[in-house]
Amino acid sequence: MKDRYIPEKQVIENLGVEMEKMDVPPVHARIFILLLMVNPPYMSFEEIQEHLQVSKSSVSKYLNIMLEQGTLDYRTFSGDRRRYFYLNHEKLLNKIYTGASKFSTISGLMENCLREREGAVPEGKNEHLKEISDFFSFLGDGMTKLVNEYHARKLSDHDSQ
């Protein structure tokens, strides 16, 4: 077993295509997968660019986007000017979590619709709107609970080890 593992190019392409289907730009997806899979889990700018065979500007662009999002970070080694980029897994999980809170946003939107209709339509004509709003807020609350539950489970797993 080598002390460095870098995923094969074709593996990155295949997984990249899957991520593209979730509306992630091609280069962004490939950088993400590369950093997700590489071991040790960091890579320099040049290594990324070389391995993916894309332009410097694209690498720069998406690394900076990820840095702004907080899902990426970098470390350095003394005597080496290069930055070594790695995924911030904590923030990554966090992002997933907040992404899930979208349900609550929509539920809020629906509630705005309802408020606008108040007094303008007969009572009882709001049932279907209420149902959609309810469903979303139910999902929003449920997601929050799920995330908390996961955290709790993780902590107790940790304790018991």
Partner DNA sequence: TATTTGGTTCGGGAATAAAAGAACCAATTT
Partner DNA sequence: AAATTGGTTCTTTTATTCCCGAACCAAATA
Exactly one of 27, 38, 72, 87 binds DNA (CB under 7 A); which one?
27
Q: Which of 7, 1, 57, 5 is nearest to 27 (CA)?
A: 57
Q: Is 124 in the site for a copy of itself (CB under 8 A)?
A: no
Helices marked H in 9-85: 9-20, 26-37, 45-52, 56-69
Q: What is the DSSP letter of 39?
A: B
Q: Which stretch binds DNA (CB under 7 A): 50-58, 94-102, 119-127, 148-156?
A: 50-58
Question: What H or E segment, with its residue span, contains residue 83?
Answer: strand 80-87
Q: Which of 13, 70, 21, 23 is nearest to 31 (CA)?
A: 13
x/- mask, a copy of itself, residues 73-92, rule CB under 8 A, reads ----------------x--x
Q: Is 120 in the site for a copy of itself (CB under 8 A)?
A: yes
Is the Cβ of residue 46 or residue 131 nearer to a copy of itself in the bound state? 131
Strand partners, 85: 43, 74
At 55, give phi and psi (nearest 5°): -70, 155
Exactly one of 9, 18, 57, 82 binds a copy of itself (CB under 8 A); which one?
18
Q: Which stretch binds DNA (CB under 7 A): 25-33, 124-132, 135-143, 147-155?
A: 25-33
Residue 131 one-letter amino acid: E
Exactly one of 7, 13, 44, 147 binds DNA (CB under 7 A); which one?
44
Contacts to DNA by CB under 7 A = 23, 25-28, 44-46, 54-58, 60-64, 79-83
